[in-house]
Structure 1
Amino acid sequence: MLSLSPPRLMTFLLSVVLIGLAVASLYLKISTIGPTVVKYRTWFCIGAYVVLALGAVSRSL
């Protein structure tokens, strides 16, 4: 059976940063990594969800 645990703080913050970059790219122009974030915005959102899901499933993340 799958046991869930809360993700660690660093895992949660990493997912917040990823989703924050994706949302910020909708409204702001980020000079250094902006073109990459705009080009792969959907993958940043999916990546944030995957990181958070792995943190909930795994005890070591």
Structure 2
Amino acid sequence: MLKLALFFLIVSLIAGVFGFSGISAASAGMAKILFFIAITIFVVVLLIALFTARSLSG
């Protein structure tokens, strides 16, 4: 998912260079949404791993 966010970021930058502001804004919005979804999933999985490791060791 993070690769997809990076892809949209690159598309947004290229579209911005060539003057396609609508496509650039839409791609940047999608990159931002995908980035925050990836970060949220990472934090949830990290917390689950920490809690299960703590319960197994104790």
TM over 0.5: no
Hey, which of these two has a bigger chunk of helix by percent?
2
Normalised TM-score (structure 1) = 0.36
Structure having greater relative contact order (Cα 8 Å, sep ≥ 6): 1
Normalised TM-score (structure 2) = 0.37
